[in-house]
Amino acid sequence: MKEIKTSLKEGKSAEMDASKKETSFKEDNLKEVERDKKKGAKNQKGKGDISPKAIVSAKENANLNEQQRNKAYNKYVNAKIPKTRPWPTLFNSFWVGGLICVLGQGINDLLLYIFPNISEQSAWAYTLIILIFIASLLTGIGVYDKLGKFAGGGTIVPITGFSNSITSPSVEFKSEGIVYGICVKMFTIAGPVIVFGILSSALVGLIYYIVYLFI
């Protein structure tokens, strides 16, 4: 009986020791979890507390870097742009543009001389068609672009410049195909000219019609 009592006492004491160890282990774990939570909250608070001065200084540095990049880029572009001479360019534009107009007048007179039965209005229409064809042909073989570099606005203002603005993109983008290359890019430059030309002519015609009603 004594042995049984001693064994029971030993078993109870072992159970009590195990329960004490388990509770102490749980308490330690809870304390560690609370410490980690507090540390995480402190870290988040430290990260989130950015002063307004730091934000402003960061924005100013970003703007300053962007301005420096823009200045460097503008300096590079100005260094690479070919320098133009105003007076020689104006002179070349004047005499080349005048020569194109003289050519158009000569074609018109020649048509009236060869075909005396056509009207003057029809002769001018054929003259414009011939000039457009000549400009397109010269653009295709690369001559009109060289002439444009030499004369500038003298080759752009006449109707030959309009022909060049249609033919040049077509030649440049022909490698992309007929539809997406030639047809799409054909009116990249001349498209706005055509649209605003038609709209302005319609507006002028409407104003003329309204004014004519009251005269």
The better pLDDT of the pair 150, 78 is held by 150
pLDDT digits (tens, 9 = 90+) for 9-52: 444 454 555 555 555 555 665 566 566 555 554 444 444 445 55
pLDDT band at 206 (very low <50, low <70, confident <90, very high): very high
pLDDT value at 190 more than 90: no
- Distance separating the N- and C-terminal Cα atoms of the chain: 140
| 48 compared with 190, residue with greater pLDDT | 190
Instruction: Identify the pLDDT of residue 56.
Output: 53
pLDDT at 46: 47
Instruction: Give the pLDDT of residue 48.
Output: 47
Secondary structure (H, E, C), the chain:
CHHHHHHHHHHHHHHHHHHHHHHHHHHHHHHHHHHHHHHHHHHHHHHHCCCHHHHHHHHHHHHHHHHHHHHHHHHHHHHHCCCCCHHHHHHHHHHHHHHHHHHHHHHHHHHHHHCCCCCHHHHHHHHHHHHHHHHHHHHHCCHHHHHHHHHHHHHCCCHHHHHHHHHHHHHHCHHHCHHHHHHHHCCCCHHHHHHHHHHHHHHHHHHHHHHHHCC
Q: Tell me: the pLDDT tens digits for 86-130?
A: 777 788 888 988 899 999 999 999 999 999 898 988 999 999 999
**Model-wide pTM > 0.85:** no
Q: What percentage of the chain carries pLDDT values higher than 90?
A: 16
Cβ-proximal residues to 127 (8 Å cutoff; 6+ apart), any chain: 104, 107, 108, 111
d(CA 215, CA 205): 15
pLDDT at 1 over 50: no
Residue that wins the pLDDT comparison between 70 and 133: 133
Average pLDDT score, the chain: 75
